Amino acid sequence: MNKKYVFTGITKVVGGIVLRQIKRIVDNVIGGWIEKESNLRPEGSAWVSGNAQVYGDAQVYGDAQVYGDAQVYGDARVYGNARVSGNAWVYGNAQVYGNARVSGNARVYERWHCLNLLNLTYYITVTPQNAVVGCQIKTHKEWLKITRKEAVLMGLPANKYATFKTLLKILFKEVSK
C-alpha cells in the first residue's frame, strides 16, 4: 500500500484520461495529477505538484520533482534528482535522470534523453533543435558560434573551452541521428 500520498477525490479528464489529484500524507500538501499509483512510486521523496500531470505508463521516482504545468506521459521515466517544470513535456520512452533539469517549453521524447554530464560547470540539455547550457537556451548553430571570451563570461573556465565545444558537437550529432 502507498504510504506517501492519497487521492483527494478530485478528478479531471484530459484527452480522455481521468487524472486524480494527490495529497501528501505526512503534511497534507496538495499535489499534482496522476492517472494511477504506478505513476508516482512511494519510495524516495519524488513528488508531482502544481498542475503537473503524470499518466500512461510514465513513472516518477527517487527524489525527482515534476511541477508547474509539466507533463510526463507514455513510457517516460523521471528519476534521481531530476526536475521537470514549467510547460515542459517528457514523453514516449524518454528518460530524465540524475541532476537533469527540463523546463520552459522543452520537449523531451523517445530516445532524446537529458543527460547528467559530470564535472561540468553547467547542466547541458540537448534536443534536436536547441540546447540549454546552464540557464541559457540557444540553437545548435548559436552554441557553436560561442567564442572563448563569451564562454568565459558565462563562467566556463578558459581551459575547458575546447572540451566544451567538442562535447557540444558530439551531443548535437547524437540527437540529429
Q: Is 90 exposed, middle or buried (0-12, 13-18, 19+ CB in 10 A)?
A: buried
Give dist(CA 165, CA 27) in Å, integer. Answer: 46
Task: Answer yes or no: do 68 and 2 share one domain.
Answer: yes
pLDDT at 118: 45
Distance of CA 47 to the CA centre of its chain: 13
Q: Do 2 and 56 belong together in one domain? A: yes
Domain co-membership, 80 together with 11 = yes
- Written as nine digits, the cell of 24 is 501528501
Same domain as 52, residue 25 = yes
- Predicted confidence at residue 177, as pLDDT, reads 62
- Please check whether residues 68 and 6 belong to one and the same domain: yes
Regarding whether 13 and 95 lie in a shared domain, the answer is yes
**Residue 121: predicted pLDDT:** 60
Distance CA 90, CA 102 (A): 8
Question: Do residue 147 and residue 131 come from a single domain?
Answer: yes
> Domain count of the chain?
2
Please give the residue range of the domain that contains residue 86. Answer: 1-116
What is the average pLDDT score of the chain?
87
| Domain containing residue 67: CATH number | 2.160.10
**Which of 88, 116, 144 represents a domain boundary (last residue)?**
116
Residue 58's pLDDT is 96
Same domain, 101 and 148: no
The string of pLDDT tens digits covering residues 120-149 is 566 777 777 788 777 777 888 999 999 999
User: Average pLDDT, stretch 97-106?
Assistant: 89
d(CA 172, CA 115): 13
Instruction: Kindly list the strands in the beta sheet with 5-14, ordered across the sheet, starting from the edge strand earlier in the chain.
Output: 5-14, 17-24, 30-34, 53-54, 71-72, 89-91, 107-109
Same domain, 19 and 95: yes
Same-domain check for residues 107 and 150: no
Query: How many angstroms separate the Cα of 97 from the Cα of each of 22, 26, 77, 100, 111?
Result: 23, 25, 8, 6, 13
Average pLDDT over residues 61-85: 95
91 and 8 both lie in a single domain:
yes
- What is the mean pLDDT of the segment spanning 22-31? 96
Distance CA 112, CA 123 (A): 15
Predicted confidence band at 12 (pLDDT cuts at 50, 70, 90)?
very high
Picking from 97, 116, 135, the residue at the C-terminal end of a domain is 116
Whether the Cβ atoms of residue 57 and residue 34 lie closer than 8 Å to each other: no
pLDDT value of position 115: 47
pLDDT at res. 155: 78
pLDDT of residue 4: 93
Say if residue 112's pLDDT is above 60.
Answer: no
- Residue where a domain terminates, one of 86, 116, 146: 116
Residues 99 and 22 in one domain: yes
pLDDT at 116: 46
| 164 touches 156 (CB < 8 A) | yes
